[in-house]
Amino acid sequence: MPEAYDYIIVGGGSAGCVIATRLIEETQASVLLLEAGPMDKDMFIHMPAGMRNAQKYSWNYLSEADPDNGVPAIHIHQGRVLGGGSSVNGMVYCRGTAHDYDDWERIYGCTGWAHHDVLPYFIRSERNETLGAPNHGTDGYLWVSEHRYRHPLTMAYIRAGQELGFPYITDMSGAAEQEGVGFWQCTIHEGKRGSTARAYLYRVIKNNRLTLITDAVAEKIQIENGRAVGISYSRKGGSQTEVVANKEVIVTAGAIETPKLLMLSGIGPAAHLAKFGIKVKVDSPQVGQNYQDHLMVSLTAETPGIRSILRESKGLRKIANGIEWLAFNHDGVVSSNVLEGGGYFDIDKDGRIDTQLFVFPFYEGKRSQNATQTAEIPDGISLKVGHVCPESRGEVLLSGATAADTVRLKGNYLTAKGDLDAQVKAVKLGMTFFEAPSLRKIARNISPSITDLTDVAEFVRSNCVTIFHPTSTCRMGPSLKSSVVDLELRVWGVANLRVADASVMPHIVSGNTNAPTIMIAERAAEMIIADLQLLAYQKGDLALA
């Protein structure tokens, strides 16, 4: 007989850890949490500056090149370790803007998902060390803090922004639209990464109603008579195992793996599934469609005489800084998440933020991407800037009928009217920072040089990268025709099956996606628990809840 659990959660990432924790704490249910990657035991996961080693614990995808549009193949990394993206990301706490969520309701028909509806779930999740009511929480589980360490190059960028006339913003996740520069808050606690594994799951990990299985890949959702009844999964070198879900299967595998699993299970565009001999359970045309991500371009300069943070993580400096971090309460340069500062900008002057900038206190040119010796990488600063309200939509497709087959990822970046022009405007804005006195006096060999920007559009096409924020491939909405899940995140056409991760966003938010994903998970957990309590009331069995 297969093992049975009340709830099976596929994906132990940012969302999965939140939902598992809430179900264990607030119900008497049994929960299986399945994660494709390993436990988060590596010290460098928890050391904030160790994020540059993230590829080791990631799904490493490659989008298809688009030669007709001049865009090369682009790497996309997604967490494959307990904690998922929250264990490998840049730890930036950023919600996007109120307009984002209001548009979910106004444009996409997601009634109940406007900003005033979702704000309580951001607040519920948050344990903010410096900001409080009415926009921030102080007694949630997700640690949100200011940086213990701020690099001199980040400080120079902030001064440059003020010299250009941009205000200094104290709350980059405030309720109002705010244009300006500032320091991002971060999901770091006492100098260590605050992933959802550490902030949430480890609170309940010893509870005997929670079963955690790592290094296990979900093969298929078992569907019988229109209901999800369990899943099958496999571990490296092992046979396939089936487990039963008495109540629900909840998929939180991220915006690339979630649509893949649905399609392998027979939920997706019928014609596409037929190509691989997959029996169609639900002809759901939006599965894998509407893929979005944030594109950005790096603008770099050398800063002779100012040691960049990258040099601090090489050779003897790496050893010395690691010892300092371990010995002195996780302080010092490696307690930095590197992405200390940035800005939000309204380039079109329409009252809406459309551009985001991150400052990296190191040189992020081609030499730093390929170099193996510290001497090959100059000290420097990088400004990564991009349009964060894209309209281009790509798709996630199958390449085979098994979980071992990778996906085909068609980004379709810069194909929507206006996206390329918006990226060009973002680059031009970023270049003005090097003209401000605080950066002009220290920056050398700016790349691209201002005189080289005769064709900024070509520069954008050739040098754009994503910042690993895939969303919207199982978007929510009011009907099967327009969406994959309903407004309570239940998969159209299959009972007892939900999706609760970044894939359900009807449109990408104007900022980093980790905090919004955690918000979605908090709300999903509340919905699941409410359904369980209703069932218990109907059956007169309060032990169910």
Active site residues: 469
On whether 237 is known to bind a ligand per the annotation, the reply is no
On whether 81 is known to bind a ligand per the annotation, the reply is yes
Length of the chain: 545
Please tell me the distance from the alpha carbon of residue 471 to that of residue 255, in angstroms, as a whole number: 5
On whether 92 is known to bind a ligand per the annotation, the reply is yes
Secondary element (H or E) of residue 339: none
- Backbone torsion region of residue 419, taken as left when φ is above 0, otherwise alpha when ψ lies between -120 and 50, otherwise beta: alpha
Q: 110 near 476, Cβ under 8 Å?
A: yes
Please tell me the distance from the alpha carbon of residue 109 to that of residue 16, in angstroms, as a whole number: 26
Cβ partners under 8 Å of residue 106, min gap 6: 114
Half-sphere exposure of 486 (CA within 13 A, CB side): 10
Tokens read off for 360: 């990296």
Tokens read off for 194: 């605050």
On whether 485 is known to bind a ligand per the annotation, the reply is no
Please give the distance of CA 461 from its chain centroid, rounded to a whole number. Answer: 23
Tokens read off for 214: 């790592």
Secondary element (H or E) of residue 367: helix 366-370
On whether 172 is known to bind a ligand per the annotation, the reply is no
Neighbours of 468 (CB within 10 A): 21
DSSP letters spanning 62-107 = EPPPBTTTTB---EEEEE-STTGGGGTS--EE----HHHHHHHHHT
Binding residues for FAD: 81, 89-92
